[in-house]
Structure 1
Amino acid sequence: MAQNSNWWRGGVIYQIYPRSFADSNGDGIGDLPGITARLEHVARLGADGIWLSPFFRSPMKDFGYDVSDYCDVEPMFGTLDDFRALVARAHALGLKVMIDQVLSHTSDQHPWFVESRASRDNPKADWYVWADAQDDGTPPNNWLSIFGGSAWQWDTRRCQYFLHNFLSSQPDLNFHNPAVQDAILATVRFWLDLGVDGYRLDTANFYFHDAELRSNPGRGAPDPNKPDPAVNPFNPYGWQRHLYDKSRPENLVFLQRLRALLDQYPDTTMVGEIGDDDGLARVAEYTAGGDKLHMAYCFDLLGERHDAPFVHGVLERFGRIVGSGWPCWALSNHDVTRVATRWGGPEPDPALLRLALALQASLRGSVCLYQGEELGLPEADVPFEDLQDPYGITMWPQYKGRDGCRTPMPWSAEAPDLGFGSGAARPWLPLSEAQRALAVDRQEADPGSMLQAARRLLHWRRTQPALVHGELMLLPVHEQVLAFVREHQGERVLCAFNLSAQPAELALPAGLALAQQLDSGIGGAQPVGATLQFAPWGVLHARLA
C-alpha cells in the first residue's frame, strides 16, 4: 500500500464545471487550457484540490456524463497534453487534481455498447443490462429513469430491453460481469498513471442492479405538505422505494476492489455521490472500515430546508450512524439550485451566504465548494429556448433543470462575456446579468466582498486543527441557533450559527465557558455573560476554556 498523507481528510475541494469555467479559444465552451489559466484563483482561495466534472470524449447528450471513451479528452475541451499541463500547473500551485468518473453507465456511442447491442452472442453481449420483454411486450419490471419514464429502452437489434437509469442514450453497464469490472478498473488506472490524485465517483451506489430484476415497491406520491429534499415532487421516480435498482450489497465488494487500486498510488482519494432513499446511511456504509470510499456526500443539505432543527437532525443522525466513516459536505453543485437562491430566495442576504460557507467549513468532514459559491452567485434564470439540460427540458415548466447553476463563471464585470472567453462566440449557456456585479475582478477590489470573506475564512480554518480534524458534539437543539463543539487533542472550539433572519439568543449549557472568541472573518454574534447574542444570520467561533 502506498503512503497517504490524508490531505483530503478535512480538506477543501473546489468543483470546476469545465464547460463554464473559462473559454481559452473563443468557441463559447470552457476548456482545459482555460482552467489551467485560472487555477491561481482557486489556489488563492485556500482550496486543497480541484474536482473536474467530466471532460472525456462524449456525444454530450448529458454534457459529459455519457462517456464514449474513458481514456481520451473530448476535443472541445482540449487534448491529453492539455490535461497533463493542467495537472502540472495544479501541482505547482499545491493543488491536488480529482476527476469525475462515470462508471455506472456509458454513452450508447461507446464501442462497448455498439458491440453489445449488435447481437445476443458477441463477446460483449452481456456487458450491459439486457432483458426480455414480458409476455405483453412491456418492460421487465417497474424501474424508472431519473430523467422520467421507464428505465428500460427497447432495442430492435436484439429485440430486448436495455437498462438506463438516466437518459436512454446512457445504457447501464452490467457489473455482475467480472470482465466489465476489470475493464472499468483499467480506465481508472489510466488516469492514475497520468498523475491524478483522486476521483469523484458519479452515482456511486448505482453500479449493481438486482440480478433477479425484482420490481421496486411503491411508496405513493410525496406529501406536498411534507417536502422531502431527496424527492422531486414532479418526478414519479420518487414514488418508489429503490430497493432493487441501486444500492445493492454487491456494490460494496466492487468499491473494495476500486479502493485497493487507489491504495497502490500515493496520496489518492475518492469521494462518492450517493443518491439513495437513505443517503446518510449509505454514506456511513460506503465510507466505513477504511477499505471502500474515502469520503461520500448525499443530498440532505442540498435541499431548501436550512432551519436549525432540521440541520441539527441531519448532524445528529449522521453522528449516530457514521462510525469511522467520513463525509464530504456540499451546499451546492452542478445538479442543484445554487445555495444563494435555494436558501436565500430572489434577494439573498449577504450575511446568509457568509453563514452558509462558515457552517460548511465548520462541520466534521471535508468541504466541497462549487465554482462561484465563493462569489455568492445566485441561480441564473435561463429561458426555455436557451435550455440545454435534458432533465429540465423534459420536466419544464415545474422544474427548470440544472442549467441555472451551470452558466459561465463571471470573471470581469466590464467584459461583454464577463471575461469567460474572448467574446468571439456566444457562450453555450447565456450569461447572467444578475451575476455581473459579483464578478471576480469587482470583488477583488472590495475588501468587504464575499470573495474576500471566503478567502479569509478558508485560510483561517487551516490554522484551526479542531475544525479540520476534530470530532463534533452537538449542543441541544434550538429553534434558531445550531451549535456544536469541535474537539481535537484537547482543544475545543464552539461553533454557533443563527440560521434565521431574526436576532437570537443562546444560553450556554452548564460546564461550557468561553476562553477566547475567534476571528474567522464571519461575525454577527457576541457573548454577554453566559449568553450568546446573534444578529440575523450571525456566526460565532470561540475557543472553550
Structure 2
Amino acid sequence: MITETPQYLGRQGADWWRGAVIYQIYPRSFQDANGDGIGDLQGVIDRLDYIASLNVDAIWLSPFFTSPMKDFGYDVSDYRGVDPMFGTLEDFDRLVEAAHARGLKVTIDQVLSHTSDQHAWFQVSRQSRDNPKADWYVWADPKPDGAPPTNWQAIFGGSAWQWDTRRCQYYLHNFLIEQPDLNFRNPEVVEAILGEVRFWLERGVDGFRLDAINFCTHGELKDNPPRDDVAEGFIGVRPDNPYGYQRHLYDKTQPENLAFLERLRALLDEYPGTTSVGEVGDDDSLGVMAAYTQGGNRLHMAYSFDLLGERHDPTFLHDMLTAMEARIGDGWPCWALGNHDVTRLATRWGVEGNAAALRLYMAFLLTQRGSVCLYQGEELGLTEAELTFDQLVDPAGITFWPAYKGRDGCRTPLPWQANALNGDFSPATPWLPVPDEHLDLAVDRQDSDPQSLLNAIRDLLAFRRDQPALVKGEIRYHPVRDEVLRLERSYRDQRLLVALNFADTPRELPAPRAARTLANAPALVNGRWQAGTLELPAYGIAIARCTIDSEEASWDD
C-alpha cells in the first residue's frame, strides 16, 4: 500500500544497476501538477511515494528537455534545458533530491544520435559549407541526377535524406525530417556530446537511457540491399513501412560506434555509481546487445525489441534467451515487456483483463538474468487505448494510419483515481484522453485491493530484491515441457528453480526431489512442489530453493 514513509530504501554500491528494476516514467502522462493537461516534473515529485511503494530501484525519465515536440521530446533543441511545459532546472534538481531521499536512483533519457532542426548547432551548420559547424551533421551531395545520396529510408517514412537549399546538399535524418543526424565522425561533435552528458552528471543523475544508441555513426554512402522478407519489431517497422524492406548495412550499427561508447563509458567511470542502458534496434539485436556491453568498457547494459513484439510462446522465449546467453559473455542485458513505443503488454499479448496471465508475464520478466525496465501502467495491467484518427498526435501513427495506429495508445495518462475527473491526472483536458476502461484499473482501486495486480507486483518486487540469485545470479535454461518454461538461478550458495506455466490449463510435471518451497514467497507463486512432482495451475508460477550439490537437484529433461 502507498505510505507517507517509503518502504524501500534502495540498493547502494557502484553496481546497484546490476539486476536493478527501473520504472519508466513518461512525464507527459504521469501527473499534471500545474493544471495545463500535460504531466510535469512537479507531478513526478508529487507521486514519488507511489513509485517507492512499488519496491523498484530507480526511475527512468523520458525526455523533458527543451524541444519543439515534433517527436515529443526526442527532438532536442537544448540538451541542458528543461522545456517550460515540464518545469525548470530547479524542479529537476528537487526531483533528484526527493528521489534520492526515497532510495530511488534517477536515470534520464539521452538522445545522442540526432538533435532537433531547431538546435543552435544545426541552425549554424545549415547556413553554409564552410562555417565552424558545417561538418557537425551528416551532409552529402546529391547524385548526378539530383537524387538523394543513397536509398536509405527513415523510420518515420520516406527517404532518410532531406534537401536543404542553403547548402544545396542533403542532410541525413534516420527519424523525422526535423531530427537531423549528428556526425560522430567529427571529433568536435563527440566532445560536445560528452559535454552535454557531463552537465547532467554534475547535476547528480545516476545514469542514462540512451535512445537508439546504435544510430550514432553511419557507414559508407552506399545503397542498402533489399531484404528477402520484411522486418518487424522497431518503431513503425511493418510491411506498410519501406524502412523494413532493407537490410540496414550502412546506415546504423557501424563498428566505429564502439569507439564512441568507450569514450562515453570512460566519462561515466569518472562518476562512480552511474550507469548506462542502451536501446538497440537491429536485425541482429542480440549480437549488438552483446557487443555493446561486453568487456566492461562500453555500456553497462542494453535492451532490444526482442520482447516487445507479439510472439511470446515459451519456446520462442526459451530459444531467444538461450541464444542471448550464449553470446553475451560478461555483458549484461536489460529486459522490458513494454515501453512508450509499443502496444501495451496486455493488448499485445492478448490477455486484457487476465490478471493471472499478467502476473505470469511479470514473473517471467523478473526471474530472467539481467536488469528490468517496467513501464508506467504495467503494474496496473493497462490496455492499449483505442483512439480515433483525430485524437492522434504521434507522427508515426498519423503517417501510417490505418495499418499502424502509432504510439499514442500506450502513452495515455496514468489513472490515479477511478471516480475523479480524468482519473485525477489533471483538472484540464489531457493532451491524450484517459480511456474509460482504464478508470477501473486506477491506482486507488487496486491499492486498496490485496488481490490486485498492483499489489501482486509489489509483493513480487519485494521478494525479488531479497533473492541474490534473482538479482545477480547466473542462469541455466531447461527445455520447455508442456508449455512450461523452466530455469535455474544461482548465486554463491543460493540456488533457485523457476517454472512458469504459459498454458491456460493446469500442468503437472516431474520436479527435483530436493526442491523446497520458499516460506517467504509471495502469494502469486502458487505452484506446489511435493515428492518429485510440480503442480502448476493455469498461468502458474513456481519458485523453489534447492541445495547446490544435491544429487536430487536436477530437472528431468
TM value normalised by structure 2: 0.94
Q: 2: distance between equivalents of 1:312 and 1:221?
A: 24
Q: Which runs of 4+ in 1 moved over 3 A?
A: 227-231
Q: 2: distance between equivalents of 1:4 and 1:216?
A: 45
Instruction: Answer yes or no: is 1:220 the counterpart of 2:228.
Output: yes
In structure 1, the residue corresponding to 2:455 is in which secondary structure?
helix
> 1:117-196, aligned counterparts within 5 Å?
117-196=126-205
CA RMSD of aligned residues (A): 1.4
State the 1:93 CA deviation. 0.5
Match of 1:515 in 2: 516
Match of 1:87 in 2: 96
Structure 2 unmatched ranges of 5 or more:
1-11, 548-557
AA aligned opposite 2:56: A
State the 1:524 CA deviation. 3.8
Match of 2:474 in 1: 471
Q: 1: distance between equivalents of 2:310 and 2:526?
A: 23
Contact between 1:118 and 1:157, CA under 8 Å: does it hold in 2?
yes
Instruction: Answer yes or no: is 1:113 the counterpart of 2:114.
Output: no
AA aligned opposite 2:433: P
Contact between 1:221 and 1:236, CA under 8 Å: does it hold in 2?
no
State the 1:362 CA deviation. 0.6
Match of 1:380 in 2: 385
Deviations 1:53-88 (A, max 9, x none): 000000000000000000010000000000001001
State the 1:232 CA deviation. 2.1
AA aligned opposite 1:136: D
Distance change (3 Å), C-alpha of 1:539 and 1:27: same
Deviations 1:455-490 (A, max 9, x none): 111011111111001100001233401110000002
Contact between 2:517 and 2:529, CA under 8 Å: does it hold in 1?
no
Contact between 1:304 and 1:342, CA under 8 Å: does it hold in 2?
yes
Contact between 2:61 and 2:108, CA under 8 Å: does it hold in 1?
yes
Match of 2:360 in 1: 355
Match of 1:530 in 2: 532
AA aligned opposite 1:529: A
In structure 1, the residue corresponding to 2:271 is in which secondary structure?
coil
Contact between 1:526 and 1:533, CA under 8 Å: does it hold in 2?
yes
Contact between 2:516 and 2:529, CA under 8 Å: does it hold in 1?
no
Contact between 1:461 and 1:520, CA under 8 Å: does it hold in 2?
no
Q: 2: distance between equivalents of 1:366 and 1:543?
A: 22
Q: 2: distance between equivalents of 1:483 and 1:48?
A: 26
Deviations 1:289-337 (A, max 9, x none): 0000001000111111111100000111001001001011100000001
In structure 1, the residue corresponding to 2:215 is in which secondary structure?
coil
In structure 1, the residue corresponding to 2:440 is in which secondary structure?
helix
Instruction: Answer yes or no: is 1:412 the counterpart of 2:420.
Output: no
Match of 1:233 in 2: 239
Q: 1: distance between equivalents of 2:412 and 2:368?
A: 28
State the 1:517 CA deviation. 4.0
Contact between 2:232 and 2:244, CA under 8 Å: does it hold in 1?
no
Q: 2: distance between equivalents of 1:180 and 1:432?
A: 43
State the 1:229 CA deviation. 4.2
Q: 2: distance between equivalents of 1:529 and 1:390?
A: 57
Deviations 1:384-419 (A, max 9, x none): 101010001101001100001100010111111101
State the 1:349 CA deviation. 1.1
Match of 2:452 in 1: 449
AA aligned opposite 2:262: Q
In structure 1, the residue corresponding to 2:393 is in which secondary structure?
coil
Match of 1:103 in 2: 112
In structure 2, the residue corresponding to 1:497 is in which secondary structure?
strand
Contact between 2:343 and 2:407, CA under 8 Å: does it hold in 1?
yes
TM value normalised by structure 1: 0.96
Match of 1:493 in 2: 496
Match of 1:280 in 2: 286
State the 1:516 CA deviation. 2.5
Contact between 1:200 and 1:270, CA under 8 Å: does it hold in 2?
yes
State the 1:503 CA deviation. 2.3
Contact between 1:516 and 1:544, CA under 8 Å: does it hold in 2?
no
State the 1:266 CA deviation. 2.1
Q: 1: distance between equivalents of 2:545 and 2:242?
A: 48
Q: 2: distance between equivalents of 1:252 and 1:163?
A: 21
Q: 2: distance between equivalents of 1:254 and 1:491?
A: 38
Contact between 1:485 and 1:495, CA under 8 Å: does it hold in 2?
yes
Match of 1:294 in 2: 300
State the 1:513 CA deviation. 2.8
AA aligned opposite 2:524: I
State the 1:216 CA deviation. 1.2
Structure 1 unmatched ranges of 5 or more:
none
Contact between 1:296 and 1:326, CA under 8 Å: does it hold in 2?
yes
* Candidates 307, 316, 319, aligned match of 2:325: 319
Match of 2:555 in 1: none
AA aligned opposite 2:517: Q
State the 1:382 CA deviation. 1.5
Contact between 1:302 and 1:336, CA under 8 Å: does it hold in 2?
yes
AA aligned opposite 1:380: A
Deviations 1:18-49 (A, max 9, x none): 10000001000000001011011111100111
Q: 1: distance between equivalents of 2:283 and 2:513?
A: 37
Q: 1: distance between equivalents of 2:480 and 2:364?
A: 16
In structure 2, the residue corresponding to 1:379 is in which secondary structure?
coil
State the 1:512 CA deviation. 6.2
Q: 2: distance between equivalents of 1:280 and 1:187?
A: 29
Alignment size in residue pairs? 533
Mean Cα displacement is larger for which, 474-483 or 487-496? 474-483
AA aligned opposite 2:435: S
Deviations 1:441-466 (A, max 9, x none): 11111110111111111011111111
Contact between 2:115 and 2:181, CA under 8 Å: does it hold in 1?
yes
AA aligned opposite 2:423: L
Q: 1: distance between equivalents of 2:333 and 2:479?
A: 22
Q: 1: distance between equivalents of 2:174 and 2:484?
A: 40
Distance change (3 Å), C-alpha of 1:228 and 1:158: closer
